[in-house]
Structure 1
C-alpha cells in the first residue's frame, strides 16, 4: 500500500510501564481509520483512507491488547499501550543514565586524537600510556570543604587508629593517591597520562602537537595543562577501527541509531557531551532546570533556560527513520532527553540566577547556538500539539548510551 504522510509519534514511559502513541492525520478520522498492533507487539499500524503506516514502538507491547477505537472526526488520535517488559528491562534502561561518552575506559594506548575541522593530529598514538577519569566537580568541592573543616588529629585518635586494619587503610590511601584523588593531593596534568571528564580531556602541553589552544580548548592554570573540548576533536581507536566518520555531524538534531553508533562515536555532537554533564548534575544537585550561559561572553543575549522533563526517554517517530540493528532485531526507539526550553534575555537571566533550584552551566557560545538549533530542529519529530507547553518550547536532545 502507499505510504501515508501522517505523523505517528511514540514515547516509552518506563516509570509507569506504558507506551504513549500520538497520531496526527491529514484528514479527519473516519470509519476506515483503524489502529492495530503487529503479532509480535513491536509495531504500531495505522490504516487511514486506504493507506497503511507502520512504526516500530520504543518498547514491546502486548500483541493481544485491544486498542480503543479512534474518535470519528478528529485529526489528533492518542493511545496508551502496556509495556511488555521484565523488571530487568527497566533497570537496564535506567543504568544507561550514567553512561558518559569518551570515558577513560573507552580510550587506550593506541588512541589518536585529531582536530575535527582540519583533521590535523594533535595527540599521536602511543603518547598516552594511562587514561584516568577525573572526579566530578562535586568531589573537588567536597575535598575543599574537608580541608577547611578537617578535625584535629588528637592523640586519642592516633591510638584508636592503631587498633584498626592499618594495612587495609594504607592500601586504600595509596590507591587514591596513585589515582591523584587523595585528599592531600592536587590533581594536575601528567606526562603520558590522559585525564578525562564529561566534556574535556586534560593533557600536558608537551604531549600534544600542532595545536591552537584557543580553537580547541584552553590552558587550565589550576591543572597545569591543556583542556580540550571533546566536541572539537575526533578519535580513532583500534577497538573501533571504523570509528572515524567521513564528515562532521551537522549542528542539527542528529540522533544516532544503535546500528551506526559505533561508527559515529568519533564525531558526537556537542549537545551529547553537554547533556551528559547536565544529567550528572541532576543526580548530584537534585535540580531539573539549567541556565546555559556563554563562557567568553557572559553578557551575550543568547542564553537558554532548560527544564529537563524526561532524562530517560525513548521514542520513535515516523519522521525519523532508524535502520534496524539486524533483520531479526528491530530497534526499540531512540534514547533522548525531553526538554522544555526558552531563550532568555540578559535582565531575565539575572533574575533567574537568583532562583533556588536553577543551576548555571557555562559553555562556549557556539555550543549554545548548536543546542538551540538542535532543539528547534527536533520539533519536526513531535506532533504540533506537543511542541509547546505554556510559554515553553518542547524539544528533544540526544542522550548517549554505550
Structure 2
C-alpha cells in the first residue's frame, strides 16, 4: 500500500509531503493539491489516497506535485506554508481539577473496577519532580514557628514540612500516576522478581501490572497509562493511548527541568525531544494532529548524568518507574515503525512522532477507547 505523510515545520515555515509508492510509478500515477489547497491526493495502482494538510498553503486551484523519479519509490515535496494551530499549552491529562468524588478507577485492559466511591478529594502534587523538591526542602528548610494544631500537616496530605503519606479518601495526582491509600483500591500485591523489596500491583481480574506499592509514601501508585476512568454509575470508561501520556509527561519535564535530553534510569537508552510544536497528517491519521518529535538511541558511552552535567551538557534522568520506562521505549519503537523509511532516522538517532492532546482533542476523545499496547 502506498503512503502519504505530511509534516509542518514551524521554525522554517515549510510543509514537507513525503510520498511512498509500493510499485514504480506509471502513466496513471498522479500527486496533487486539491483546488482549495487543503488536501493532498495520490492516485496510484488503481487506488486513491488523500490526507488533509497540517498547514495552510496559499493560493487556489489544483497544483501538481513531484512524483518519485523513474526506478524510485519515494520523494519529498517541500512547500511554503503557515500554521493552522494556535500556540496553546497542552493540558495535564486527568489532573485533580478534572476529577471528583464520583470518579472511579478501572483497569484499562479489562475494565475491572479498582476504586469506587472511596476517593472524596483529589489533589495535584506540585510537579513530576516533587520528591526531589521535598528532599531539598528538608535539607534547607528555615526555622518554623510552633503550630497549635499538630495534625495540620498530615491533614493536608502533603506539605513542605512533613513526609508525604497516602491518606484514606484522598487521591494524590501527578502527571503519570495516582497515589492512593491501601484501603482505597482493590489490587493484588506481589514481590518484585529482582528481590528489591518492591511490591508490584496487579489487576485481580486480568493479571495486568498496574503499578507498585510505594514504601516512602505507604501508598499504592497506579500508573495512568494502564488505567481507565468512569463517572458515577456509568459503564462507559475513557482512556488514552500511551503515546498521549508520554508526550504529556515530556512536555511537563521540559517545563520543570529546563532540558530536552534525558537518559533512562533502568534501560541503556537516551532521548532528545527535538520539537514540541509539530503538526502532521498521514494515511493512518488523515486529519491534522499536533505532536512532538522525539529522537532516541542506545546511550553513548558509560558516562553518568552527573559527569555529563559537569561538561555543561543539559541532560537529566527520566523520573519514570521501570515499568513506564519499558513502555515508553515500546511506544517510541511503535511510532518509529509508522514513519516512512526516509524519516525513521536522523543523524544517528531513531525518530518517533508522539501525538500531543490539546483541550479540543481531549473533549473529542472523552469516550474513546484504544487498542491495548
TM-score (norm. length: structure 1): 0.69
CA offsets 1:354-381 (integer angstroms, 9 cap, x no match): 3232222254555444333333332343
Which residue in 2 is equivalent to 1:262? none
Per-residue CA deviations over 1:9-44 (Å, capped at 9, x if unaligned) read 111223444422111234556786654322333211
* 3-state DSSP of counterpart to 1:40: coil
1:336 and 2:287 correspond: no
CA contact (8 A) 2:242 2:331 kept: no
1: distance between equivalents of 2:325 and 2:132?
26
Q: What's the offset of the Cα at 1:398?
A: 3.8
Give the match for residue 55 of structure 1.
51
Unaligned runs of 5+ in 2: 145-151, 190-198, 202-209, 363-373
The match for 2:173 among 175, 184, 196 is 196
The 8 Å contact of residues 62 and 84 in structure 1, kept in 2 or not, is answered as no
Match of 1:44 in 2: 40
Is the contact made by 2:103 and 2:232 (CA closer than 8 Å) also made in structure 1? yes
Looking at structure 2, the residues matched to 138 and 145 of structure 1 have their Cα atoms a distance apart, in angstroms, of 11
The answer (yes or no) to whether the contact 1:303–1:349 under 8 Å persists in 2 is: no
Matched residue, 1:351: 303
Is the 1:122–1:211 contact (alpha carbons within 8 Å) kept by the matching residues of 2? no
Aligned to 1:221: 215
Q: CA deviation at 1:64?
A: 2.4
**CA RMSD across the alignment:** 3.5
Given the superposition, is the C-alpha separation of residues 179 and 83 from structure 1 closer, same or farther in structure 2, using an over 3 Å criterion?
Answer: farther
Unaligned 5+ residue runs, structure 1?
154-174, 245-264, 295-301, 323-330
Q: Which 10-residue stretch deviates more, 356-365 or 228-237?
A: 356-365
Tell me how far apart the structure 1 counterparts of residues 274 and 158 of structure 2 sit (CA, whole Å): 34
| Paired position in structure 1 for 2:164 | 187
1:115 corresponds in structure 2 to 107
Alpha-carbon shift at residue 139 of structure 1 (Å): 5.0
Q: How many residues align?
A: 328
Contact 2:158 / 2:165 at 8 angstroms: preserved in 1? no
**In the superposition, relative to structure 1, how do residues 136 and 349 fare at CA in structure 2: closer, same or farther (>3 Å)?**
farther
1:12: which partner in 2?
8
More helix by share: 1
Check whether the contact 2:178–2:224 (CA below 8 A) recurs between aligned residues.
yes
Q: Aligned ranges for residues 3-402 of structure 1 at < 5 Å?
A: 5-26=1-22, 34-47=30-43, 52-64=48-60, 69-70=65-66, 73=70, 75-83=74-82, 85=84, 89-92=85-88, 95-96=89-90, 99-117=91-109, 119-124=111-116, 126-138=117-129, 141-142=132-133, 144-145=135-136, 148-149=139-140, 182-212=159-189, 214-215=200-201, 216-238=210-232, 241=234, 243-244=236-237, 265-266=238-239, 268-294=240-266, 302-318=267-283, 320-321=284-285, 331=287, 333-344=288-299, 350-353=302-305, 354-356=307-309, 357-361=314-318, 363-401=320-358, 402=362
TM-score, normalised with respect to structure 2: 0.73
Q: Check the 8 A contact 1:38/1:63 in 2, yes or no.
A: no
My pick for the range that moved more, 351-360 or 276-285, is 351-360
**Tell me, what secondary structure is at the counterpart of 1:23?**
strand
Partner of 1:252: none
CA deviations 1:78-115 (Å, max 9, x no partner) are 22241264xxx4323xx12xx22222122221111133
> 2 CA distance for matches of 1:186 and 1:141?
12
Q: Check conservation: 2:35, 2:62, Cα contact below 8 A.
A: no
* Partner SS, residue 336 of structure 2: helix
Q: Is the 8 A contact 2:119 2:171 kept in 1?
A: yes
Asked if the contact 1:292–1:361 (Cα under 8 Å) also holds between the matched residues in 2, the reply is yes
Q: Distance in 1 between matches of 2:158 and 2:126?
A: 8
Q: Is the 8 A contact 2:127 2:174 kept in 1?
A: yes
User: In the TM superposition, what is the alpha-carbon distance from 1:393 to its structure 2 partner?
Assistant: 1.5
| Cα distance change of structure 1 residues 18 and 237 upon mapping to structure 2, 3 Å threshold | farther
Deviation string 1:110-141 (CA, Å, 9 cap, x unpaired) is 111133455442211x2111111111154554
In structure 1, what is the Cα distance between the partners aligned to 2:187 and 2:337?
Answer: 41
Partners of 1:143 and 1:365 lie apart in 2 by 22
Partners of 1:341 and 1:119 lie apart in 2 by: 33
Structure 1 position 194, deviation (Å):
0.8
